[in-house]
Structure 1
Amino acid sequence: MSNPLVHAFFVGRAFAEAVGEQVENAVTNALSELGKFDAEQRERLRQFTEEVLQRASYAEQMTMQGRSSGSTNAATSTDLQAMIDDLRAETAQLRAELQRYRNRS
Structure 2
Amino acid sequence: MSKLDDLRAGMASSRATTDAAYAQQLRNNKQPAMEAFQKGEISAQEYEEVVGEPYAVTVKDHYDASIARLKNITAVRVRAGLLTPQQYKEITGDDYSEEGYA
TM-score band, normalised by the shorter chain?
0.3 to 0.5
Higher relative contact order, structure no. (Cα contacts within 8 Å, ≥ 6 residues apart): 2
Query: How high is the TM-score relative to the length of structure 1?
Result: 0.36
Q: Larger radius of gyration, structure 1 or 2?
A: 1
Query: How high is the TM-score relative to the length of structure 2?
Result: 0.36
Q: Which structure's residues are more often helix, by fraction? A: 1
